[in-house]
Structure 1
Amino acid sequence: MRKYILAINPGSTSTKVALYDGKEKVFTNKIEHPRTELDKYHNIIDQYDYRLNLIVEWLKEVGISTSTLKATVGRGGMLRPIPAGTYLVTDVMIKDLKDCVGGEHASNLGAILAKGIADNEGIKAFIVDPVAVDEMDDIARISGMPDIQRKSQLHALNIKAVSHRYARENNRNLKDINLIIAHLGGGISVAPLKRGRTIDVNNANEMGPLSPERTGQLPVGELVKMCYSGKYTYNEIKTKIKGRGGLTAYLGTNDAKEAEERAKNGDENAKLVFMAMAYQISKEIGAMATTLYGKVDAIILTGGLAHSKTLTDKIQSMTRFIAPVVLYPGEDELEALNEGVLRVLEGEEVEKIYENEVEISD
């Protein structure tokens, strides 16, 4: 009997997997990949057989045959820009992931691994709300310099998952409400959702609030001076912006819990920087409220940093005049993947076809 959905989330040094029976998580595991093993492969795509075999071995260990799977779902990779939704994994999608049309990332393996297992069983493989989701209004793409266009890059999977959760818990239709959702993690995405569509977002890699490892938006003139000062290489500047920016640059740690504890224990600099992060998040929420003309049903704070009462209390105090603030701390990407497939299997949504949603000219 086919009853399980297998969810696969490849990361840089691990592959998270889970088996679901409906909404119930039956088994889950985080398969670690030692750097000594990964270094054997020139490209991420080359890791396919290695990771696939480990997933199959895990299924055998928990006593689950692939013949009991009714669908598989993988974390969506760096594809061409597409609307949100649950997508059937097709050969065209696989080709784009292997060609790295949107860049090389471990998540590119998600769809490929899901399809590899599904094809052997004659079942469907899906992805849900990949990082490539782009629903921005054209007016939001204008940057101020024609050479540069604002891009949609966001934590789409969790943002969309919590939007569905809010609508479900409040007996509302997602297409009838407006939300501002702030995903607070290693990177921070603040997105206004107008009747379910993400009409704008700060690019968490380059704009918006400072975060544990990223600078967020910077005074561009001073940044240009740094770039031409002769003190830094291109890669050094990139690392200062993403990887060693934000809390890391100011406090020497990317651990928000540590920064918060230092602030509580009298470290005035830690307190200032931690509160600056909350201040900047609140400003970004306020800015995004204008894109919805102030008609906001709720502000949702989610992601790992939303566990911090100090942070969320500050944000609530600065933004609750806009709309009620709802806390959905943490994220469960595997659960979000499963829920996306269930919405299709239960008839709540219709599966989308990748090649029907993108323009492929090459």
Structure 2
Amino acid sequence: MEKYLIINIGGSSSKIGLAEKEKIVTTETIRYSSKTLKACGNLWGQLNLRLEDIQIYLEKQKISLSDLSGIITRGPLVKPIPKGAYRVNALMVEDAKSGFYGQHPCSLGSEIAMILGGGDLPVYTVDPPCSDEMISEARYTGLPFIKRKSYYQVLNHHAVARSYATSIGKTYEELNLVITHLGSGVSVASHKFGKVIDVTNGLEGDGPMGLDRTGTIPGKDLLKASLSEKHSTEELLSYLDGQGGIKAYLDTIDGQEVERRITDGDEEAKQIYHAMAFQVSKGVGAAAAALGTKPDAILITGGLANSRYFTQLIINRTSWLAPIKIMKEENELEALLIGVLEGLKENKILNYK
């Protein structure tokens, strides 16, 4: 019987699943506090902690690596590549660790999987966050030496798009969709007949602000801040990804906590939370315009899709554009499994070069 270990490393959690044939039979989520992760230093300093906890899980579940057909991991963040299923290799891990293409917790999964595999088990990944299908017009910024990049929650976008298409008896390739993922970072994408022709890049300061991302900020003010002696380069970069957005204003990345503050009468929390929803709504409108036609639907996914309060703020501003569907279930472990199994079945596992 084919068995796969599935690893999904997130900002504050490690999600693990064991699949037999085409079904996930057991899952576990290991959560980490900000204090614990901060004590590790930088992102790659978390490697041993995350690896050891996964190994403990495998021991508790009595899962033998020798019984596995392979390991599937989310990520990593490497050079721009097409969507699809890939065989993880040493070059992919090396590029992820270099940080040249950015840093994201999902990149840890590639090395963890390779270590666990020990060179004997094949390691796969599906729809990494650097998957790139953007049209040429979407890459321009106004400066020849700076181009917009395609970094977003590809796996989740792709999974919910296909799930929605199936639910209405169509294929993903038949639809024009606007999809926004509401997580610690926010992405808003224009899905045109199965390809993402444009998307915001919250990882590098583009689009709506998120729970811990600044999103787009006035360039002149950022330049002034970088030239002053008040902020180091490292500090400013951390604001773009990890210390900006709601966290910078309210010192939390917990949407439920923000909503509790609002219920308790915190007007500042209300204004900032509503401002984030305002920016997401603007992003949805822009993504619809990029399609060049009326969207068949607007899909809202990610952690904050579970918040009726927050999603209603977006619905109030954008429901005139197209029908809106809240996609609460992310099912990323299942999406990873399906992507690899389809790639193997159709002999379409891609090589990273």
Specify the TM-score bucket, using the shorter chain as the normaliser. Answer: 0.7 to 0.9
Match of 1:226 in 2: 225
Match of 2:293 in 1: 294
Greater shift after overlay, 244-253 or 284-293?
Answer: 244-253
| Secondary structure of the corresponding residue to residue 150 of structure 1 | coil
Residue in structure 2 matching 1:152, options 136, 150, 153: 150
Q: Once the 2 structures are TM-superposed, how far is the Cα of residue 132 of structure 1 from its aligned partner?
A: 1.5
Following the alignment from structure 1 to structure 2, what is the Cα–Cα distance between the partners of residues 188 and 218?
A: 14
Q: 8 Å contact 2:37–2:46 — kept in the other structure?
A: no
Give TM-score, length-normalised by structure 1.
Answer: 0.85
Following the alignment from structure 1 to structure 2, what is the Cα–Cα distance between the partners of residues 257 and 40?
A: 27
Match of 1:236 in 2: 235
| Secondary structure of the corresponding residue to residue 327 of structure 2 | strand
Deviation per CA, 1:99-147, whole angstroms, max 9, x where unpaired? 55524554334233434555665x5321011121111111111000112
Distance change in 2, residues 1:251/1:161 (3 Å): same
Greater shift after overlay, 158-167 or 102-111?
Answer: 102-111
- Opposite residue 350 of structure 1, the aligned amino acid is K
Output aligned runs, 1:235-274, within 5 Å: 235-274=234-273
Match of 1:337 in 2: 336
Following the alignment from structure 1 to structure 2, what is the Cα–Cα distance between the partners of residues 236 and 117?
A: 34
Greater shift after overlay, 149-158 or 66-75?
Answer: 66-75
Unaligned runs of 5+ in 1: 356-362
Following the alignment from structure 2 to structure 1, what is the Cα–Cα distance between the partners of residues 179 and 37?
A: 38
| Secondary structure of the corresponding residue to residue 27 of structure 2 | strand
Match of 1:44 in 2: 44
Deviation per CA, 1:304-361, whole angstroms, max 9, x where unpaired? 11111111112112112221111012534323222222332454x8222222xxxxxx
- Opposite residue 201 of structure 2, the aligned amino acid is N
- Opposite residue 339 of structure 1, the aligned amino acid is I
Greater shift after overlay, 289-298 or 239-248?
Answer: 239-248
Match of 2:111 in 1: 112
Match of 2:194 in 1: 196
Q: 8 Å contact 1:45–1:109 — kept in the other structure?
A: no
Q: Once the 2 structures are TM-superposed, how far is the Cα of residue 17 of structure 1 from its aligned partner?
A: 1.7
Q: 8 Å contact 2:43–2:105 — kept in the other structure?
A: no
Match of 2:141 in 1: 143
Residue in structure 1 matching 2:180, options 161, 182, 189: 182
Q: 8 Å contact 1:305–1:330 — kept in the other structure?
A: no
Match of 2:163 in 1: 165
Establish whether residue 353 from structure 1 lines up as the match of residue 346 from structure 2: no
Following the alignment from structure 2 to structure 1, what is the Cα–Cα distance between the partners of residues 38 and 220?
A: 40
Match of 1:360 in 2: none
Following the alignment from structure 1 to structure 2, what is the Cα–Cα distance between the partners of residues 160 and 261?
A: 32
Greater shift after overlay, 275-284 or 229-238?
Answer: 229-238
| Secondary structure of the corresponding residue to residue 148 of structure 1 | coil
Greater shift after overlay, 102-111 or 150-159?
Answer: 102-111
Q: Number of residues paired by the alignment?
A: 351
Following the alignment from structure 1 to structure 2, what is the Cα–Cα distance between the partners of residues 277 and 314?
A: 10
- Opposite residue 190 of structure 2, the aligned amino acid is P
Greater shift after overlay, 307-316 or 63-72?
Answer: 63-72
Following the alignment from structure 2 to structure 1, what is the Cα–Cα distance between the partners of residues 253 and 51?
A: 32
Q: 8 Å contact 1:180–1:193 — kept in the other structure?
A: yes
Following the alignment from structure 2 to structure 1, what is the Cα–Cα distance between the partners of residues 41 and 228?
A: 37
Q: 8 Å contact 2:47–2:112 — kept in the other structure?
A: no
Following the alignment from structure 1 to structure 2, what is the Cα–Cα distance between the partners of residues 264 and 42?
A: 36
Match of 2:84 in 1: 85
- Opposite residue 342 of structure 2, the aligned amino acid is R
Establish whether residue 132 from structure 1 lines up as the match of residue 139 from structure 2: no
Q: 8 Å contact 1:154–1:204 — kept in the other structure?
A: yes
- Opposite residue 277 of structure 1, the aligned amino acid is M
Distance change in 2, residues 1:114/1:226 (3 Å): closer
Q: Once the 2 structures are TM-superposed, how far is the Cα of residue 270 of structure 1 from its aligned partner?
A: 2.2
Distance change in 2, residues 1:116/1:294 (3 Å): same
Distance change in 2, residues 1:4/1:40 (3 Å): same
Q: Once the 2 structures are TM-superposed, how far is the Cα of residue 7 of structure 1 from its aligned partner?
A: 0.3
Q: Once the 2 structures are TM-superposed, how far is the Cα of residue 13 of structure 1 from its aligned partner?
A: 6.8
Deviation per CA, 1:191-242, whole angstroms, max 9, x where unpaired? 1111121111111130211222222111222333333344333233334444
Distance change in 2, residues 1:58/1:242 (3 Å): closer
Deviation per CA, 1:222-271, whole angstroms, max 9, x where unpaired? 33333334433323333444433322333343322122222233333222
- Opposite residue 173 of structure 2, the aligned amino acid is K
Name which one, 1 or 2, has greater alpha-carbon Rg.
Answer: 1
Q: 8 Å contact 1:45–1:98 — kept in the other structure?
A: no
Q: Once the 2 structures are TM-superposed, how far is the Cα of residue 45 of structure 1 from its aligned partner?
A: 8.4
Following the alignment from structure 2 to structure 1, what is the Cα–Cα distance between the partners of residues 182 and 74?
A: 19
Q: Once the 2 structures are TM-superposed, how far is the Cα of residue 303 of structure 1 from its aligned partner?
A: 0.6
- Opposite residue 274 of structure 1, the aligned amino acid is Y
Establish whether residue 326 from structure 1 lines up as the match of residue 328 from structure 2: no
CA RMSD of aligned residues (A): 3.0
Greater shift after overlay, 220-229 or 189-198?
Answer: 220-229
| Secondary structure of the corresponding residue to residue 129 of structure 2 | coil
| Secondary structure of the corresponding residue to residue 180 of structure 1 | strand
- Opposite residue 147 of structure 1, the aligned amino acid is F
Following the alignment from structure 1 to structure 2, what is the Cα–Cα distance between the partners of residues 99 and 266?
A: 46
- Opposite residue 28 of structure 1, the aligned amino acid is T
Unaligned runs of 5+ in 2: none
Greater shift after overlay, 322-331 or 133-142?
Answer: 322-331
